[in-house]
Structures are given as structure tokens and as C-alpha cells.
Amino acid sequence: MATSDKVAAVEEITQKLRDSNAAVVTSYTGLSVAQLKQLRRSLGENAQYRVVKNTLTKIAANEAGIQLDEHLKGSTAVAFVTGDPVEAAKGLRDFAKDNPALVIKGGVLDGKALSADEIKKLADLESREVLLSKLAGAMKGKQSQAASVFQALPSKLVRTVDALRAKQAEQGGAE
């Protein structure tokens, strides 16, 4: 690879790392071209899977301010995730279950280094949409509880005032 090609490759990888909110480093030794195509499709539109050179990726990661050095050994490919990192992590995990040749080495999420185990835990999370809908449901439930409490207060006050009037009327009539 000529020097200008290497410089361009480093710039491209640096830009992908900066534009991505997550990157997952994998080893792909033993996967066929057809399997790599299938993996790329399974990651969806919000992730781009690319085979990279370790030395160029180390330089790009350092320029982007990301620590990936420990994961850049052997054959390396990186999934650059611009969308939901949970969805991409699930795609990689599920593909790795069916194709043991794919090994998740580690990665980075919003600038924080992640181990392979942390990426697997990320894959076990529910998607962003599911978590947001659960949060919205919980908030709606709390709002309805608060509304019923606020509705109960005036009616309870009215019943208490009526009871006091009735008691005063009884005492006034008894004297």
C-alpha cells in the first residue's frame, strides 16, 4: 500500500471512529466471503462492518482519542455503529452463536473502552425503543396514580366537611 493510500485509510478510519457512537472490534478468521456478507446484512443500516489493518487502525484510534490497542491483534474487522449500539451488539452476538469463527474482542462506546464481556452484556439489553416505551409506561402509570390522589383529596375534604356539619348539627340539636 502506498503512503498516500495509507494516509487516506487512516483518515477514513479516524473519521468513522469519530462519527460512530460505538465500534466493536472482532476477529473474523475462518469466515467465508458469503458469511461476511451475511454478517454485514444482519448488522442493519446503522452499522458498517469493515476489515481493517491493525497498524493503521491504531494510528486512527489514537488520532480519534480512542483506546483500541489491546484489541488490535491478529485478523481484525471493526463494526462502526452510528445507530443503536445494542442492536449492533445483538447482531454480532447472534451471528457469533451461529458462526463461532467470529470472535468479539472488545470495542468502544461513546469514547469508553469495552471488553468483550461488556459488549455481550450490552447485547443482552433491550433495544432503545423498548426501554423508552417501558419508561413512558411507568411515567404514565405514576401520572395516573398522582391524578387519582389529587382527585381523592377534594372529595375527601368535602366528605370530612359534611361529616363535621352533621356532627355540629347533632350537637346543636341535642342541646
pLDDT digits over 1-18, tens only?
568 888 999 999 888 888
Burial classification of residue 125, based on how many CB atoms lie within 10 Å of its CB (0-12 exposed, 13-18 middle, 19 or more buried): middle
Q: Are residues 75 and 32 in the same domain?
A: yes
Q: Which three cell numbers stand for residue 139?
A: 411515567
Assess whether 68 and 106 both reside in one domain.
yes
| φ and ψ at residue 113, rounded to 5 degrees | -70, 140
- Give tens-digit pLDDT for 95-121: 888 888 888 998 888 888 888 888 888
Residue 51's identity, in one-letter code, is V
Asked if pLDDT for residue 144 goes beyond 70, the answer is no
Assign 20 to helix, strand or coil: coil
Nearest Cα to 50, choosing from 72, 70, 28, 68? 28
pLDDT at 12: 92
> What's the number of domains the chain is made of?
2
Domain range enclosing 98 = 3-125
Residue finishing a domain among 84, 106, 125: 125
User: pLDDT higher for 37 or 1?
Assistant: 37
pLDDT value of residue 163: 80
Dump pLDDT digits (tens) for 47-101: 888 889 988 989 998 888 888 888 888 888 999 988 888 888 888 888 888 888 8
Are 61 and 100 in a shared domain? yes
Query: Do 19 and 9 lie in a common domain?
Result: yes
Hunting for cell 363535621 — which residue is that?
164
Domain match, 142 and 121 both? no
Q: Judge if 74 and 149 occupy the same domain.
A: no
Q: Are residues 84 and 108 in the same domain?
A: yes
Q: How far apart are CA 59 and CA 14, in angstroms?
A: 8
- Whether the model pTM is above 0.75: no
Strands 76-81, 22-27: pairing is: antiparallel
